[in-house]
RNA sequence: GCGAGCGUGGCGAAACUGGUAGACGCAAGGGACUUAAAAUCCCUCGACCUCGGUCAUGCGGGUUCGAUCCCCGCCGCUCGCACCA
C-alpha cells in the first residue's frame, strides 16, 4: 500500500481538468439553474499570499458544491490592475507600471493555478487592459450625458505621500487608506459621481439583502447617514450680511427644542465667517485657531469648544427673542447647512459651549415626574419626556412636538422638513498615470466636451517618466494635446484618471461576457447576474461594496444593465494570522527559522539558524514587515495543496481569523493520507457482516446530511470536523463488506471533493468510477436510511443527568415515562435522597426529565 | 461618546430552533512497532476530591422541568463610526 503522493497526484488531476475544459462555463442556456460565485478579485501585487488562498478556496468550495448539485456555475477570475503600487515600483526601480503589473499577473496566475481552483480562466481580464477600461469610458460618458458625472471646485482630501486626492471613504482616522499619511484639505477642481442621488435607494435596497451580514448593512446605512429634521431660516436683526441676505439657515433634528435656543453657531469656514475673517484680522486669527488640532480620536475628545461672538443677531421665530451668532470650532461646514441653533439643555456639545461662554441654558423637555424647577447643568438631558417652557408645545411628547414645530415654521414660510445625508458625492479624479483616463476634452471655446465614441478607448501613453513627482500625463509632451471634437480647435485632454474603485464597481457584470462590444452584454448579464455568492474582506464594507451598488443602479437606469443589486449573497471572510517571533534585540524572525518547544507546559521558541532564544509575540495578520508570513507555495511543496486547502478552512469559522500553525497543516496532511489509505485498501468483493453493513449505511447518510448542511451554511470548519469523524467511522466498519463500504467511500470522496478535489479524484478513480468526480452528482441524503432504530435518552432528575435509557425510535411517551421510572439508577438516586417524582417531562426521542421533591 | 459583535479546556473550536457541554483538530502524557529516531498505529487528556460524586460555558441576578443558547445588570476584548446638530 503506497502513501498518497500529492506531488504526482495534484498535477495529474489538474491536467485532467484542463484537458476536459471542465471549468469553462457554457455561454448558452443549458436549462440548468445558474449560480454565480465570485471572490473579490485581487490587486496584482506580486504574489498570492495565504489570505488570497483562503478567500479563493472558500469560493471554490461553494463553486464545486453548486456544480455537483446540478447548477451551471460561473466562477471567473480577473485582476484589479490599476493603482499606486505600480507607479511606486516605477519610481523606485524605473520599470514601467504596465510591465510591472503584467509580469505580476503572470506570476500570480501561475500561483493561483496551483491551488486547483475551479476557475473559468477563459473569462480572465485585467482592468488595466484598454479593452476593459475603454468600455468603462463608454459608460462613464453615458452617465455624463445623464448628469450623473459633474465637475466642481471642492475642498478635497489630499494625500501628500501618494500625491493624489482621496474619496471620503478612503480616509481612515484622518489618514490615507493606502499611504497612512495625514490627509490635508485642498481646493481642487474635481470630477464627481452623483452617488447622493441614490442615497435613499441605497438605504432601501439594504432591506432586501437578506444574505448579507447585518454588520455590513448597518455600516452602509450609517455611512449614508440619513437623518430627518428641519431646515429653517432665522431672520436678521439689523443689517443682513451679504452672504445670507434672507437670514441664517440652519438644520436641526430637534425642532421640538426650539424654545431652548440660546445661541446660533456657524462653522469657521461658513461663508459668513469667511467674510468676517477677511474684514477683521482678529476673526481671521480665531478661524485659524479653529483649524488647528487633528481629527484623530484623541484630538477630538480633548478639543475644547471655542467660539467667537460675531455681534450678528437673529430673531427667534416663535418668541421674538434676540439670539447672538457665534463662530464655533465644533460645527462642521460639510454637514447640514454648516450652521446650527444651540440648545444647551438638550445637546452635550451646545451645553459645554454655553457653560464656557455664560450663555443661558433653558430646559424645554423634562422627564416623567420632573417639575417646573427641572434644570440642566453639566450633562445635557437627551432622554424622553414632555415639553415645557415652550408655549404652544407645552405638554407634548418629543415626536409630536417636532411635528408641530415643523408645521408652524412651514406655515411661517421660514423653512421646511428636510432629510439630509452624511454621504457625499464620490470624488473620482486622481492625479495619477496608472488609472483609467477620464475621456473628456477641455476646449477653450466649447468647454467640457466628451471624447467621441469612435475615439474610445482613450488609451494611456506608453512613454512616460516618473523621475519627478506629479502626474506624468500632465507633463507628457503630446498626449493631452488634441483637436476639439466639437469645433476642431486646439484643446487638451483631461489628465486626471479615475479612482480604481470605479474599475471594480462593475467588473462582475463584465465577466458575464468579457469580450462583448458593449460594456455589458445584456443577454449574458440577464443570465448570470446578480452574483449569487460574493466573498471578500469586510474592509470593503463601505468602499467597493457601496460603489458597486451605486454603479449597478446608475447603469441600470441608463439601460446598460438590468440588476440594481449586484450581490445577492455576501460573505466576509476572516484573515490568516500567525504568531510573531522576535530576537532579544527586537528583530522579527520568520516562522521557517523558528523551532517551538513545549516543556513542562511552557512554550518557548528557539531560532534554528543561531540557536538563540526568541520572544513569542502577538498573533497578527500575516505581513512582510513582521515576517510572520507563510507562502502558499512552500505549503504546497511540503504537504500538497489539498492539505493546505483543508487546513485554512478547518480550524476556525470562515468569518473569523484563522491562525496558521505548522501542527495544524500537518494534521490536515495526515487526514489526507488516512483518507487515501481507506480508498487504497478498498476491496469490492469483501464479505459483509450484516450488522456492520447496516450501521455503516446509516452513518454514511448521517454524514451526508451533516457535511451538506455545514458547507451550505458556510460552516466549513464544522463540515470538515464531520468529515474527520466520518473517516473514523468508515475505518471502524472494516467488516461492513464491499457494497456498504463502496457506498460509504463513494460518498466520502464526493463530500471531500470541494475541499480536497485532487484527492477526491484519485479516490474516485481508485474506486473504479469512470469519468471525473467533478461530474458526479452530490450524494443524496435519505432520512429513512439515516434514522436509528433505537435512541439513547438521557434521564435527568431536576435538570441533572442521572441515567440513560435505550428506547425504540418514536416510542410512546407513556412507555418512555414508565421505563424511566423503573430505571434502577433512578430508583437508587430517589431513595438515597428521599425524593419522590412529582412530574415527568418527556421530549420524544430526546430526553426525559423527572421533577422530584 | 454612539453602534455592532464576541467572552466555552493548555490552544483553535463544536453544540442546527432551550434538551447528555467540550465533537473535530493542535499541543501534552502513556503505550505498540524500531538497535534507536522519524513516520505510523492505539490509549489518556476541563477542574477538584474519599472513584462515587461535586463544581464547571466572563461575573451577578431572573425566566424555565431543563439555559452556552432567552431576559435584566455588570466586567473584559474586538470591530465600525465619530464634535453629523
Task: Name the residue closest to the C1' of B1 by its CA.
Answer: A301
For chain A, state the CA radius of gyration.
Answer: 34
pLDDT at A421 over 90: yes
Buried b or exposed e, range A579-595, using 16+ CB within 10 angstroms: bbbbeeeeebbbbeebe
**Which nucleotide lies nearest residue A254, CA to C1'?**
B85
The integer distance in angstroms from the CA atom of A215 to the C1' atom of B77 is 18
Given pLDDT bands bounded at 50, 70 and 90, which one contains residue A298?
very low
Residue A771: other Cβ atoms inside 10 A:
10
ipTM: 0.95
The residue among A630, A623, A624 whose CA lies nearest residue A647 is A630
Q: Which residues pair with A72 in a beta bridge?
A: A34
Instruction: Give nucleotides in strand B with any atom < 7 A to a protein C-beta.
Output: 1, 3-5, 10-16, 19-21, 23-28, 39-42, 53-54, 65-67, 79-85
Residue A1: pLDDT band with limits 50, 70, 90: low
Q: Per-residue pLDDT averaged across A222-245, rounded? A: 92
CA–C1' A654–B75 (A): 28
CA dihedral over A321, A325, A328, A334, signed as positive or negative = positive
β-sheet with A429-430: strand ranges across: A429-430, A497-498, A436-437
**pLDDT category of residue A420 using cuts at 50, 70 and 90:** very high
User: What whole-number distance in Å separates Cα of residue A403 and Cα of residue A92?
Assistant: 61
- Region label for A267, one of left (φ > 0), alpha (ψ between -120 and 50) or beta (otherwise): beta
CA of A52 to C1' of B82 (A): 32
Residue A255 DSSP symbol: G
- pLDDT exceeds 90 at position A187: no
Closest of A272, A285, A283 to residue A339, by C-alpha: A272
* Interval A413-426 mean pLDDT: 93
Q: Long-range contact list for A160-164, CB < 8 A, 24+ apart? A: A160/A184, A162/A84, A162/A432, A163/A431, A163/A432, A163/A469, A163/A470, A163/A471, A164/A84, A164/A430, A164/A431, A164/A432
Distance A560 CA to B80 C1' (A): 34
Bridge partners for A442 per DSSP: A448, A492
pLDDT at A361: 94
- The larger pLDDT score, comparing residue A619 to residue A520, is at A520
Give residue A805's pLDDT.
Answer: 84
Residue–nucleotide distance: A666 CA to B80 C1' (Å): 36
d(CA A112, CA A746): 28
Average pLDDT on A414-427 reads 93
**Higher-pLDDT residue of A15, A333:** A15
Which residues does residue A342 pair with via DSSP β-bridges, in sequence order?
Answer: A263
Backbone torsions φ then ψ of A215, nearest 5 degrees: -60, -45
The Cβ of residue A833 has, within 10 Å, a number of other Cβ atoms equal to 10
pLDDT at A602 over 80: no
> What pLDDT was estimated at residue A586?
85
Diameter of chain A measured on Cα atoms: 107
pTM metric for this prediction? 0.93
Euclidean distance between CA atoms A622 and A574, whole angstroms: 12
CA of A850 to C1' of B50 (A): 29
Summarize pLDDT for A736-775 with one digit per residue, the tens: 989 999 999 999 999 999 999 999 999 999 999 999 999 9
In this predicted structure, the answer to whether residue A521 has a pLDDT above a threshold of 70 is yes
- The closest nt to A662, taking CA to C1', is B26
Torsion of CA A280, A281, A286, A291, to 10 degrees: 110
User: pLDDT value at position A295?
Assistant: 47
For range A11-34, the mean pLDDT: 94
Grid cell at residue A54: 483562503
Would the pLDDT of A49 be above 80?
A: yes
CA distance A793 to A845: 7
**Residue A767: count of CB within 10 angstroms of its CB:** 17
- A652-689 pLDDT, tens digit per residue, is 999 999 999 999 999 999 999 999 999 999 999 999 99
C-alpha to C-alpha distance for A213 and A200, rounded to whole angstroms: 20
Mean pLDDT of chain A: 91
CA at A660, C1' at B71: how many angstroms apart?
Answer: 39
Residue with cell 408652524: A408
CB half-sphere exposure, A184, CA atoms < 13 A: 10
Regarding predicted confidence, which is higher, A813 or A172? A813
- Alpha-carbon distances, residue A93 vs A97, A99, A288 (angstroms): 10, 12, 42
CA dist A533 → A39, A58, A60, A261, A521 (Å): 8, 11, 11, 51, 21
Q: What's the rounded mean pLDDT across residues A613-626?
A: 87
Residue A443 has pLDDT above 50, yes or no: yes
pLDDT at A294 over 70: no
Q: How far apart are CA A820 and CA A818, in angstroms?
A: 5
Nucleotide nearest to A542 (CA to C1'): B80
A240 grid coordinates: 443682513
| Structural contact between residues A742 and A767, judged by C-beta atoms closer than 8 angstroms | yes
Would residue A771 be called left, alpha or beta, if left means φ above 0 and alpha means ψ between -120 and 50 degrees?
left
**Nearest nt (C1') from A600 Cα:** B28
**Res. A427: pLDDT tops 80:** yes
| pLDDT at position A601 over 70 | no
- The three cell numbers of residue A68 are 455537483
| pLDDT value of position A166 | 78
Residues A510, A512, A516, A519, Cα dihedral to 10°: -30
Closest residue, CA to C1' of B28: A601
Q: Tell how many helices (H) and how many strands (E) occur in chain A.
A: 27, 37
Question: Which residue is closest, via its CA, to the C1' of B20?
Answer: A794
Amino acid at each position: 500500500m503506497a502513501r498518497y503522493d500529492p506531488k504526482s497526484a495534484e498535477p495529474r488531476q489538474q491536467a485532467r481538468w484542463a484537458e476536459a475544459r471542465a471549468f469553462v462555463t457554457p455561454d448558452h442556456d443549458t436549462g440548468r439553474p445558474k449560480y454565480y460565485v465570485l471572490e473579490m478579485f485581487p490587486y496584482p501585487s506580486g504574489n498570492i499570499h495565504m489570505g488570497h488562498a483562503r478567500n479563493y478556496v472558500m469560493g471554490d468550495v461553494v463553486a464545486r458544491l453548486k456544480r455537483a448539485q446540478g447548477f451551471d456555475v460561473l466562477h471567473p477570475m480577473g485582476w484589479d490592475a490599476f493603482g499606486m503600487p505600480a507607479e511606486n515600483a516605477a519610481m523606485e526601480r524605473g520599470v514601467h507600471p504596465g510591465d510591472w503589473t503584467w509580469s505580476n499577473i503572470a506570476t500570480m496566475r501561475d500561483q493561483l493555478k496551483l491551488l486547483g481552483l475551479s476557475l473559468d480562466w477563459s473569462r480572465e481580464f485585467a482592468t488595466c487592459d484598454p479593452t476593459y477600461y475603454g468600455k468603462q469610458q463608454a459608460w462613464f460618458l453615458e452617465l455624463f450625458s445623464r448628469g450623473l458625472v459633474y465637475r466642481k471646485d471642492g475642498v478635497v482630501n489630499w494625500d501628500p505621500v501618494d500625491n493624489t486626492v482621496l474619496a471620503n471613504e478612503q480616509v481612515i482616522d484622518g489618514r490615507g487608506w493606502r499611504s497612512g499619511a495625514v490627509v490635508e484639505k485642498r481646493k481642487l477642481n474635481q470630477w464627481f459621481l452623483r452617488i447622493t442621488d441614490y442615497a435613499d435607494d441605497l438605504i432601501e435596497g439594504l432591506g432586501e439583502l437578506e444574505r448579507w451580514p447585518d454588520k455590513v448593512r448597518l455600516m452602509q446605512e450609517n455611512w449614508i447617514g440619513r437623518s430627518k429634521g428641519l431646515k429653517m431660516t432665522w431672520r436678521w436683526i439689523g443689517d443682513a450680511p451679504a452672504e445670507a441676505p434672507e437670514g441664517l439657515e440652519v438644520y436641526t433634528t430637534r425642532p421640538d427644542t426650539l424654545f431652548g435656543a440660546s445661541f446660533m453657531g456657524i462653522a469657521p469656514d461658513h461663508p459668513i465667517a469667511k467674510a468676517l475673517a477677511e474684514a477683521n484680522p482678529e476673526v481671521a486669527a480665531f478661524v485659524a485657531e479653529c483649524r488647528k488640532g487633528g481629527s484623530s480620536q484623541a484630538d477630538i475628545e480633548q478639543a475644547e469648544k471655542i467660539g467667537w461672538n460675531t455681534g450678528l443677531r437673529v430673531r427667534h421665530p416663535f418668541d421674538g427673542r434676540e439670539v447672538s451668532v457665534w463662530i464655533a470650532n465644533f460645527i462642521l461646514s460639510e454637514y447640514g447647512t454648516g450652521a446650527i441653533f444651540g440648545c444647551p439643555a438638550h445637546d452635550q456639545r451646545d451645553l459645554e459651549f454655553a457653560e464656557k461662554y455664560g450663555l443661558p441654558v433653558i430646559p424645554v423637555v423634562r422627564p416623567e415626574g420632573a417639575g417646573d424647577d427641572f434644570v440642566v447643568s453639566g450633562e445635557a438631558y437627551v432622554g424622553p419626556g414632555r415639553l415645557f417652557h415652550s408655549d404652544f408645545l407645552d405638554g407634548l411628547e418629543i415626536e409630536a412636538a417636532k411635528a408641530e414645530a415643523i408645521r408652524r415654521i412651514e406655515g411661517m414660510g421660514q423653512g421646511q422638513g428636510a432629510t439630509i445625508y452624511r454621504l457625499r458625492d464620490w470624488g473620482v479624479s486622481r492625479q495619477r498615470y496608472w488609472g483609467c483616463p477620464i475621456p473628456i476634452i477641455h476646449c477653450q471655446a466649447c468647454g467640457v466636451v466628451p471624447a467621441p465614441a469612435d475615439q474610445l478607448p482613450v488609451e494611456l501613453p506608453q512613454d512616460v517618466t516618473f523621475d519627478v513627482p506629479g502626474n506624468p500625463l500632465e507633463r507628457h509632451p503630446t498626449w493631452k494635446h488634441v483637436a476639439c471634437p466639437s469645433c476642431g480647435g486646439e484643446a487638451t485632454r483631461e489628465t486626471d484618471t479615475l479612482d480604481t474603485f470605479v474599475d471594480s464597481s462593475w467588473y462582475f457584470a463584465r465577466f458575464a461576457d468579457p469580450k462583448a462590444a458593449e460594456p455589458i452584454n445584456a443577454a449574458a448579464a440577464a443570465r448570470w447576474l446578480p452574483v449569487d455568492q460574493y466573498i471578500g474582506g469586510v474592509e470593503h464594507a463601505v468602499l467597493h461594496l457601496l460603489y458597486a451598488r451605486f454603479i449597478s443602479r446608475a447603469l441600470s437606469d441608463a439601460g446598460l444593465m438590468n440588476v440594481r443589486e449586484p450581490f445577492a449573497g455576501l460573505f466576509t471572510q476572516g484573515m490568516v494570522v500567525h504568531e510573531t517571533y522576535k530576537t532579544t534585540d527586537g528583530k522579527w524572525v520568520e516562522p521557517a527559522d523558528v523551532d517551538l518547544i513545549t516543556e513542562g507546559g511552557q512554550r518557548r521558541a528557539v531560532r534554528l539558524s543561531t540557536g538563540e532564544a526568541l520572544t513569542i509575540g502577538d498573533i497578527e495578520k500575516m505581513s512582510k514587515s513582521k515576517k510572520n508570513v507563510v507562502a502558499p507555495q512552500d505549503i504546497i511543496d511540503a504537504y500538497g495543496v489539498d492539505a493546505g486547502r483543508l487546513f485554512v478552512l478547518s480550524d476556525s469559522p470562515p468569518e473569523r481569523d484563522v491562525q496558521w500553525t505548522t501542527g495544524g497543516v500537518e494534521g490536515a496532511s495526515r487526514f489526507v493520507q488516512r483518507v487515501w489509505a481507506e480508498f487504497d485498501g478498498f476491496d469490492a468483493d469483501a464479505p459483509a457482516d450484516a450488522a456492520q453493513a447496516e450501521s455503516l449505511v446509516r452513518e454514511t447518510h448521517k454524514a451526508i446530511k451533516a457535511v451538506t448542511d455545514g458547507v451550505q451554511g458556510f460552516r466549513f470548519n464544522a463540515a470538515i470536523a464531520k468529515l474527520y469523524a466520518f473517516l473514523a467511522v468508515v475505518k471502524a466498519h472494516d467488516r461492513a463488506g464491499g457494497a456498504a463500504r463502496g457506498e460509504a467511500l463513494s460518498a466520502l470522496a464526493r463530500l471531500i471533493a470541494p475541499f480536497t478535489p485532487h484527492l477526491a479524484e484519485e479516490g474516485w478513480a481508485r474506486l473504479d468510477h469512470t469519468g471525473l468526480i467533478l461530474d458526479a452528482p452530490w450524494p443524496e441524503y435519505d432520512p429513512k436510511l439515516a434514522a436509528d432504530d433505537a435512541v439513547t435518552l438521557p434521564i435527568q432528575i431536576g435538570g441533572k443527568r442521572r441515567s440513560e435509557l435505550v428506547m425504540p425510535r418514536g416510542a410512546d411517551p407513556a412507555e418512555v415515562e414508565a421505563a424511566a421510572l423503573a430505571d434502577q439508577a433512578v430508583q437508587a438516586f430517589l431513595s438515597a435522597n428521599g425524593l419522590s417524582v412529582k412530574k415527568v417531562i418527556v421530549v420524544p426521542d430526546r430526553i426525559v426529565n423527572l421533577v422530584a421533591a
